[in-house]
Structure 1
Amino acid sequence: MSGEPDDVEIRQQQADDRHGIFHVNQAAFGRDFEGRLVERVLAEARPVVSLVAATPDEIVGHILFSPVMLPGYADLKLLALGPMSVMPSRQRSGIGAKLIERGLAECHRQGADGVVVLGYPEYYPRFGFAPAASFGLGCEFECPPEAFMALELLPGALAGKSGDVRYHPAFSAGG
Structure 2
Amino acid sequence: MGYDTHVRPETAADWANVAALTRTVFNTPDEALLNDALRQQTQDYIALVAEQHGNIVGHIMFSPVQLENAKQIKMMALAPMVVSKVLQQHGIGSALVRAGLETCFQHKVDAVVVLGHASYYPKFGFIPASNFAISCPWQVPDEVFMLLELTPDAMKNASGKVQYLPAFAQI
Answer yes or no: same fold by TM over 0.5: yes
1:18-33 correspondence runs (5 A): 18-33=15-30
Alignment of 1:39-58 (within 5 A): 39-58=36-55
Number of residues of Structure 1 aligned to a counterpart in Structure 2: 171
Aligned pair partner of 1:75 in 65, 72, 77: 72
Structure 2 equivalent of residue 130 of structure 1: 127
User: What letter corresponds to residue 82 of structure 2 in structure 1?
Assistant: S
Deviations 1:130-159 (A, max 9, x none): 000001000001211110000000000001
CA distance in 1, matches of 2:136, 2:100: 21
Cα distance in structure 2, aligned partners of 1:13 and 1:132: 28
Partner SS for 1:79: strand
CA distance in 1, matches of 2:75, 2:158: 12
User: Structure 1, residues 61-119: CA drift from partner, whole Å, max 9, x if none?
Assistant: 00000000001212110000010000101100000000000000000000100000000
Matched, 1:92 2:89: yes
Alignment check: 8 A CA contact 2:70 2:159 kept: no
CA–CA distance in structure 1, aligned partners of residues 168 and 101 of structure 2: 21
CA RMSD of superposed structures (Å): 0.9
Q: Distance in 1 between matches of 2:137 and 2:43?
A: 20
Alignment of 1:136-175 (within 5 A): 136-173=133-170, 175=171
Q: Which runs of 5+ in 1 are unaligned?
A: none
Match of 1:36 in 2: 33
Question: How far apart are residue 170 of structure 1 and its match?
Answer: 1.2
Identity of aligned residues (%): 39
Q: Is the 8 A contact 2:48 2:59 kept in 1?
A: yes
The 8 Å contact of residues 53 and 59 in structure 1, kept in 2 or not, is answered as yes
- Stretches of structure 2 that go unaligned for 5 or more consecutive residues are none
CA distance in structure 2 between the partners assigned to 1:94 and 1:27 by the alignment: 19
SS in 2 for 1:85: strand
Residue 59 of structure 2: SS of its match in structure 1?
Answer: strand
TM-score (norm 1): 0.95
- The match for 2:113 is 116
Q: Secondary structure at the match of 1:10?
A: strand
| Contact 1:137/1:165, CA 8 A, preserved across alignment | yes
